[in-house]
Amino acid sequence: MNMISRKAKTKETTPAMRASLLDLAKDLFARRGYVGSSLRDLAEAAGVTAAAVYYHFAKKEDLLQVIIFDGLEQLSHSVVGALAGAGTPQERLEALVRAHLGYNVQYPRESRIIIEESRFLNEVDYAAAREKQMAILNVYRACIRQLIASGKLEKIDPSLVAFGIISVIVGWYRWYREDGPVPKDQAFEYMVQFALAGALHRPAPA
């Protein structure tokens, strides 16, 4: 093995290469979907050999698992951190919405993959991913129960309100475009207020 090939092999096995492959996999899975992407596509995009990809990830599902689990971990951290300094129940809900939507705005690729591609995880990993998502849902439910207890919200199933808010948030990647007519900050603020207005809406008496 000559010096050039030895250096190339060393480069292909570094942590930096693993991080680069993960980043490129996010692009592929977000654009083509998990089924429409292959490890060969990833090797071509990275400009490395297939062996370099297999060195870091034995199969395509391993990439999906890492992307989804890392994404959910980061989202959970953002959500929990946002509530640490919040005060009233309404302030806590707003902090939660801002943190959750903020993640989707900052990480649209990961958001899309979590929402659209989790179904391709194996049974055990899918159940673990769902458990992480349910933990986030339970944070919403707790905030909404506090709002009901404080009289800021009528008595209603907390899950109904939670799913309403989440449906607004997770739709971000479907419609927002960086090159579109609406500035990101303006769109973000509008969607925060839209979600909160829907959650705190009091129906007119019948």
Which one, of 117, 151, 125, 119, lies nearest residue 36 by Cα? 117
Chain centre distance of CA 152: 29
Alpha helices (H) in the chain, listed in sequence order: 3-12, 15-32, 39-46, 50-56, 60-84, 89-106, 108-117, 123-150, 158-170, 172-175, 184-200
pLDDT band at 204 (very low <50, low <70, confident <90, very high): low
Q: Which CATH number describes the domain made up of 3-58?
A: 1.10.10.60
Which one, of 193, 198, 190, lies nearest residue 144 by Cα? 198
Domain parsing of the chain, residue ranges: 3-58, 61-200
Q: What is the mean pLDDT of the chain?
A: 91
Q: Model's pTM, two decimal places?
A: 0.89
**pLDDT (tens digit, 9 = 90+) per residue, 148-199?**
999 999 999 999 999 999 999 999 999 999 999 999 999 999 999 999 999 9
**pLDDT (tens digit, 9 = 90+) per residue, 54-99?**
999 999 999 999 999 999 999 999 998 988 876 899 999 999 999 9
Which one, of 140, 68, 65, 63, lies nearest residue 101 by Cα? 140
φ, ψ dihedrals at 75, nearest 5°: -65, -45
Cα dihedral across residues 31, 36, 42, 44: positive or negative? negative
- End-to-end, the C-alpha distance of the chain in Å comes to 82
Q: Which two tokens stand for residue 45?
A: 């995009």
Fold of 61-200: Tetracycline Repressor; domain 2 (1.10.357)
